[in-house]
Structure 1
Amino acid sequence: MGDKNDIWAEHLKKIAEERSEESFLSVYDYYAPRVFAYLIGLSVSEQQAYDITQEVFVKLWLNAKQYSNQRGYVSTWLFRIARNLWIDYLRSEASRNQYFEDSDVDPPDLFAEDVESDSDARKLHRYLRELPVEQCNILYKSYFKDMSHSEIAQDHERPLGTIKSSIRQSVSQLRRKFKRFDDGSSKV
């Protein structure tokens, strides 16, 4: 590999072995805009590209030891992670859409006591689809699969507090959206 890759490979080695924040920030500052632009080139929306870019660098931080400069450039490794995350997102989105379209369980059942009209049900269904995939999946597991927060945390490999915060944030987002478009009849 070239000299330039050797510099980035050395940064990844420091991240893996020493948890070097300085090396991480160097890699992030250089590659984050490139990963973002790569995702935009794949026709990813700006918000999704931003979210996926952040996740790429979380994965880099957690899995830097998996990189091998014998197998390719750092840029190739990061772009592959980004592409795989985008594909995972698309699969998850397709799966989520399929669930909502084919299921006997209507998404508004999440808040059945608060949903008073078909109009509210349609709004809630649309708002659920607007949530980030992981947040929607966490809500789905909590409300549809009746999984405990601890089970969801284990399933998503996230801290329990993160799962609880995600649920609170998702419900709060849904409530804010309902209030923003409230015609006076919605209580969500």
Structure 2
Amino acid sequence: MRQRLWTEMTNRSVAAWCKLVVAAAVLLGAAWWNVWEISRTWDYVDAAFVSPTPGSLEIARCDEGTESKGNWTCHGPFTSTDGAVRIDSISLRVPVEAGPGTITPAMVSGTDAEGAWSTDWGMAVGRLGVHAIAGAAGFFAWLFFQLAGDSDEPARRPVRGARTPRLPHNQHRNRRRRKTTRRR
């Protein structure tokens, strides 16, 4: 079994090895990204459904250059609706129209939260969409990985026995020319 596996691995073409390396890199990248997004999504699920702490965030400052898709990252103090939880500085993705001095509704998962979340359902759909994309990327990377495992060329058995002598520079061409002229 090991001998056969070793023979298959050594008889792979360069293109098959490149496909295998690219597929493995994509698969690992998709897995890392999905794990990172799962941790962020769990924080959102915790803030929205498990132990919600609704409140408001007074935007003190917004980061320049973080604008994407009409939102940007802003920071400020969070105060829960009942006043029991107060976080001095927390970040939140808000629409571009909401700038410093604006008070916006938000929710956090607890006093040790690293980020606040918007209260609209679009956030939940967006978080699930991220996992659908990451899952699809992982599936296609796995599929590519499976297809890359098949070598383009059939496995050749190593030839045992005497090797042909190495010819001087360009002698193989002369030998081929002589054979073709003799046949005519």
TM-score (norm 2): 0.26
Q: Which fold has the larger relative contact order, with Cα–Cα distance below 8 Å and residues 6 or more apart in sequence?
A: 2
Higher helix share: 1
Higher strand share: 2
